[in-house]
Amino acid sequence: MYIFVTGTALPKSFLIGYNDTHSVENVVVENLQFNGRRILNAEAGNFTIEKARNVRFVESRNYSAPD
């Protein structure tokens, strides 16, 4: 899946678990872009991540931008 966000400001995103026992785990954000710029980390993507483990931002090897 490819996620392309356009606009004047990148919206805030949240990945927040309930507690240490009920956490968000094993999330891969793949091929996220904002106005054509690749987002490869939480800070660049305006993400707040709390009580989470193994959250990764990656670019697919088979990536090709849409026309």
Tell me how many domains the chain contains. 1
Q: Is residue 33 part of a domain?
A: yes
Q: Is residue 66 part of a domain?
A: no
Q: Is residue 31 part of a domain?
A: yes
**pTM score, whole prediction:** 0.79
Are the C-beta atoms of 12 and 45 separated by less than 8 Å?
A: no
Q: Is residue 20 part of a domain?
A: yes
Q: Is residue 65 part of a domain?
A: no
Residue range 25-36: mean pLDDT, rounded: 93
Taking the C-alpha atoms of residue 34 and residue 59, their distance in angstroms, rounded to an integer, is 13
Residue range 18-39: mean pLDDT, rounded: 94
Q: Is residue 63 part of a domain?
A: no
Are the C-beta atoms of 52 and 59 separated by less than 8 Å?
A: no
pLDDT tens by residue, 31-64: 999 998 999 999 999 999 999 999 999 988 765 6
Domain that holds residue 18: 3-58
